[in-house]
A and B are shown apart, each in its own frame.
Chain A
């Protein structure tokens, strides 16, 4: 059975079937210590290219300048079921979760060359449930204890953005971000000796911050465009059950990329993004965390359009990605991630709806002690109530 024969209705059914009854999140072994695994509020199409199209994708929550490329109002929704395998000196585990990294509404302002958008995306995910068994001395006797700590939540960003075309070849954009979110943390300890009452404490860490970004996309030639992006997020105030406990610096982000169209069927892109997460290092270390380090993310990928009359019908997207991760498990270590991705999509209902699907495989590691493999299915559903400016 070919993918074409499956048809858009089957893909729609697959998307609906994947919607879980409980919203929960994915995370990583490298999201435990620190603010979490940095989120990727990108569309499935962009993630299929390793993220390399992000600076040119108006539907992703990234470069605001790209909003000017939107030709129709769009509402999009992305979900990412993930299967992970976690390896640490304490043991291995096979995990699974579902995440909603992006919801966005965007489109052009009729009669203008301005595109605007509002999006709700993931900034950092800190979901985990860790358990360990230890023996401690209580009242002069060894007592076996089982500890479990679970965290659900993380930081999210709400983005308001606009982009405008200047002179036909250059688009500029700006965005403001409200960074918010919370971690609901549940810590338990039970004792093998039943005369000791199990302990359970819960708390909610909430985060608040603001950021701004600017971006530009310039069409150098008909088949080549380049983009630059800069963003600052200031700092986040961290409250513990409504009581301010500390602030943590959030990074500056600088990104640059190029997109080249060597033929009518093929588009390729490359992108580099640098983030100054080391600003959070002292804040996190002061709280006992291993710290944080600057990150560089490199990605490259492309899209092969099979049908020029219907470019949105089952294109082949591919990409690769290398990224440093900001929050190590051990102080001074440099965790990293390498990912490969492949995707496609269909448009239907007279191009008023689209389903995009990407399969992403990531390898994350830090020294030889901690590693993780993640297989993520990125599913996106977008609707365009009407088309054309």
Chain B
């Protein structure tokens, strides 16, 4: 009986795959096409002003750096002059003070890097200019400094006690507000990025260790923690925007709108295999050596120009790395975004280009636009036509 049954059971498992001998044994066959679409003339523009300095996750600090000369300001939340103990307020005695800032990125090839904290007037605000504060960056106003000769990202902490407390003493007229400036020096011109209040774990912090009198003769230890309520960086000068190119990033940050024609054969019947957005750099990318930034190409949900809402799902966002000094054409794989341009309710065939990190990096790419000869943005689309199933 097994002689009969076993072969039958074996036949239950289908095995149909065989090697094909094309073209004789290849009915139909895919046709793969490659097409290049240039951006719509004058449909591409850069719009500055999306984020201002200090709204990003990092602050720029630089010294004799050709790309940009920047000073950072940090203003902490006001420290109270008394604390609650029991059911009443009591003045405290300061034991020590600590200031912490985070170094997020530096050019490790640069030696002799030293980061200085300066005492600034408590009145600094968003109206403060580079010239306003530059005069405060004097030897006399130095609160402390850090030598950074190893490593890259690190937390820097300065502790003041005893006589050194005078360097961080807050006059009564300042209502407990401490303002600091950050500056660097090195063996050569360079820049660094430090954490801003938006940087969460890398945010600057102001700690005061105090003693409070208790109801008896003892004392109670407390820590008064103050985060920055305002932080920004001030470039010495800003490059003038050029309407004939596409600039993204910078201060305040710029984004670019890029529109493409999208023919019916791509919208309706093509199966997209690969889509590449190609942007030509008109100048080498400026920035801090080794500090890689990214350019994001986000498809828009509706085309309202600079205020177009963009797709937030990372799946649809094209990303290209950008290295300072780079001159090559920047290429983004954007097939998922192009798929949103297909179907019965296609999205507008428009991208918004944006830099990441958007505020706080020295990197500032400048791409050719449709007004730039030989550097027009283009979309390279590889697609499969409908398979001729009807052909036997």
A residues near B158, Cβ cutoff 8 Å: none
Does B392 contact A88, Cβ atoms closer than 8 Å?
no
- Complex CA gap A377/B7 in Å reads 10
Contact among A24, A93, A189, A205 with B14 in the assembled complex (CB-CB below 8 Å): A24
| B201 CB, min distance to chain A CBs, angstroms | 35
Q: A98-B14, A187-B30 are in contact. Are A89 and B21 (CB under 8 A)?
A: yes
A19 to chain B: which residues have CB within 8 Å? 12
Interface stretch of the complex, out of A41-49, A113-121, A126-134: A126-134
Contact with A along B56-96 (1 / 0, CB 8 A): 00000000000000000000000000000000000000000
Query: Which of A55-63, A78-86, A171-179, A258-266 binds B?
Result: A78-86
B199-235 Cβ-contact flags toward A at 8 Å (1 or 0): 0000000000000000000000000000000000000
Chain B nearest CB, measured from A246 CB (Å): 7
Complex interface: chain A residues within 8 A of B24 (CB) = 33, 290, 329-330, 370
Interchain CB contact under 8 A, A130 and B19: yes
Interface flags for B1-39 (1: CB within 8 Å of A; 0: not) read 100110111111111111111101111111010100000
Q: Do A189 and B11 form a contact, CB below 8 Å, given A88-B25, A90-B20, A150-B16? A: no
Residues of chain A within 8 A (CB-CB) of B17 are 93, 95, 129-131, 148
Segment touching A, from B114-122, B268-276, B302-310: B268-276
- Asked if B242 is an interface residue, CB under 8 A from chain A, the answer is no
Surface stretch bound by A, among B127-135, B141-149, B187-195, B380-388:
B380-388
Q: Which of A192-200, A270-278, A294-302, A338-346 contacts B (4 or more CB under 8 A)?
A: A192-200
Interfacial chain B residues near A34, Cβ < 8 Å:
392
Among the interface residues A24, A139, A238, which one has the most CB atoms of the partner chain B within 10 A? A139
Q: Is the CB of B18 within 8 A of A289?
A: no
Q: Is the CB of A33 within 8 A of B20?
A: no
Q: How far is the CA of A147 from the CA of B20 in the complex (A)?
A: 9
A131 and B392 within 8 A (CB)? no
Q: Within 8 Å of chain B (Cβ to Cβ): is A103?
A: no
Contacting residues, chain A, for B22 (C-beta < 8 A): 90, 132, 134
Query: Is A195 within 8 A of B28, CB to CB?
Result: no
With contacts A149-B26, A329-B25 taken as known, whether A377 is within 8 angstroms of B11 at the C-beta atoms is yes
A195 touches B390 (CB 8 A): no
Instruction: Report whether A32 and B27 are in contact in the complex, using a CB–CB cutoff of 8 Å.
Output: yes
> A245 an interface residue at 8 Å Cβ cutoff?
yes
Interface of A, secondary structure class, is: strand
Give Cα A59 to B306, complex, Å: 76
Known A-B contacts A284-B392, A377-B8; A147 and B30 likewise in contact (beta carbons under 8 Å): yes
Q: Is the CB of B25 within 8 A of A29?
A: yes
Note all chain B residues with C-beta closer than 8 A to A27: 16
Pairwise interchain contact A201-B14, C-beta atoms closer than 8 A: no
Query: What chain A residues lie within 8 Å of B313 (beta carbons)?
Result: none
Chain A residues within 8 Å of B272, by CB: 197
B389, chain A: closest CB distance, angstroms: 4
Docked-complex contact B382 and A196, CB < 8 angstroms: yes
User: Complex formed: what's the CA distance from A242 to B22 in Å?
Assistant: 29
Rounded to whole angstroms, the CA-CA distance of A376 and B160 in the bound complex is 93
A13 touches B1 (CB 8 A): yes
- Asked if B390 and A22 make an inter-chain contact with CB atoms under 8 angstroms apart, the answer reads no
Q: Is the CB of B391 within 8 A of A288?
A: yes
Q: Are A205 and B274 within 8 A (Cβ)?
A: no
- Given A128-B18, A197-B272, A199-B271; 4 other pairs, CB 8 A cutoff: A95-B15, A97-B11, A97-B14, A189-B32
Interface of B toward A, CB cutoff 8 Å: 1, 4-5, 7-22, 24-30, 32, 34, 271-274, 333, 335, 380, 382, 384, 386-392
- 28 CB-based A-B contacts, threshold 8 Å: A11-B4, A17-B9, A18-B8, A21-B12, A24-B16, A29-B18, A83-B11, A90-B19, A93-B19, A96-B13, A98-B11, A131-B19, A132-B22, A139-B380, A147-B30, A149-B26, A197-B274, A197-B335, A199-B30, A201-B386, A201-B387, A205-B390, A284-B392, A287-B392, A289-B392, A329-B21, A330-B24, A377-B11
